[in-house]
Amino acid sequence: MINYVTAGESHGPQLTGIITGIPAGLKLDIKEINDALAARQGGFGRGDRQKIEHDSVEITGGVRHDITLGSPISLTIQNRDYSHWSQIMDPISPATQSNTLRQITRPRPGHADLVGGMKYGQSDLRNVLERSSARETAMRVALGQICKQLLSQLDINLIGYVQQIGATKIPEQDLSVQEINNAIEQNDLRILDSNFVEQIHNSILQAKKDGDTLGGVIKVVVENVPAGLGSYISWNTKLDGQLAGAVMGINAMKGVEIGDGFAAAGKPGSQVMDEIDWNPNTGWSRLTNHLGGFEGGMTNSMPLIIKAAMKPIPTLYKPLQTVDIKTKEKQKAQVERSDTTAIVPASIVVESVVAIEIAKAITATFEASNLDRLQKALHDYRKELLQY
């Protein structure tokens, strides 16, 4: 089964990731990974750091001649901005007066700064914010894109896009993954309807002028997932729960919905349950998809619908009140370089994390040491479901 770990600080030398459980025999397209990393750095409303970083991944283990070996895959992404922080973030040299000049003692409301400092006993909150920074998600995108390529070889496709920015909601459309991809490529907001671009651009520019930030809602659609991933037998085997936990583990996410989510709470059951249908050629299906492709914690063969609510970025250029952890005096929070909104790159992060969890469920369900073997096992399983 797939597992992964990341390491590295926001202004440290590099980000490192190790992923295990990827089958042998998968041909990796490193350009696709780097394209996703570039997309994560894009989007209207990003800050100045993205002009410095030009993320690209280096594969340092587990792959030979662009084919996975079945062994752990290790990746690195260099932090180009480290050249400006090499003394401050030096992993080896002892702390001195000169290399601790950029200490953080005024925690930012909404960040991990204060609570992280309390928990780990840090007198310099930079030791917290460097790891709690969303910079770490660059590595999760790289790892997720490996899983996305694996899923593609299993005829499972997915896409993440932006459904809402600030108060502006984009009308939904019933589109395939490919149609969604075609639509969001037409603008720099990853939204379905480009007619809303100017309005949203203006709201982002106004928020920037005000020293404020904006959040939004992200939606991920996953097609052709076989029925039966996950299980009803125990709370921790439910795949929708695992997905919700993984998405909530992304920086700034404050809510996750599956299907109609919270809207279903206000409807009668007759408008929420998806009636069952059967076709001798295509097998079992549902007439609607209000439950987002899940029943009893298991996939039911309908497209998976996962939505995530992202809070506004808590680093404000007109900072809020805080209290200095050393002097205990009320002051304004310290300001780190940040974005006005990061909802666009966050949609790629959520997409990547969902890909990891679906790939994890696939490799936990079927024998997955080799891609050919996994493809055959999944093919036979789909055939079995068709005959049920």
Q: What is the pLDDT of residues 208-229, one digit of tens each?
A: 999 999 999 999 999 999 999 9
The binding site for FMN consists of: 131-133, 251-252, 296, 311-315, 337
> Are the CB atoms for 159 and 350 separated by under 8 Å?
no
Distance CA 287, CA 280 (A): 16
Cα Rg, the chain, nearest whole Å: 22
Q: Whole-angstrom Cα distance, residue 37 to residue 265?
A: 37
The pLDDT, as a whole number, for residue 292 is 98
Binding residues for NADP(+): 40, 46
Containing structural domain, residue 215? 3-386
CATH of the domain at 125: 3.60.150.10
Give the model's pLDDT for residue 255.
97
At residue 204, the pLDDT reads 96
In this prediction, residue 54 carries a pLDDT of: 83
Output the pLDDT for position 303. 98
233 C-beta neighbours (distance < 10 Å), count: 11
Q: Indicate the number of domains in the chain.
A: 1
Evaluate whether 284 touches 276 at the Cβ level (below 8 Å). yes
pLDDT in tens, 266-321: 999 999 999 999 999 899 999 999 999 999 999 999 999 999 999 999 888 889 99
Report d(CA 327, CA 330) in Å as an integer.
9
pLDDT of res. 53:
62
Q: What whole-number distance in Å separates Cα of residue 95 and Cα of residue 379?
A: 58
Quick one: pLDDT at residue 94? 86
Residues with Cβ < 8 Å from 257, sequence gap 6 or more?
A: 292, 306, 307, 308, 309
Binding residues: 40, 46, 131-133, 251-252, 296, 311-315, 337
| pLDDT for the residue 100 | 65
- For the chain, residues with pLDDT lower than 50 are none
Residue 112: helix, strand or coil by DSSP?
coil
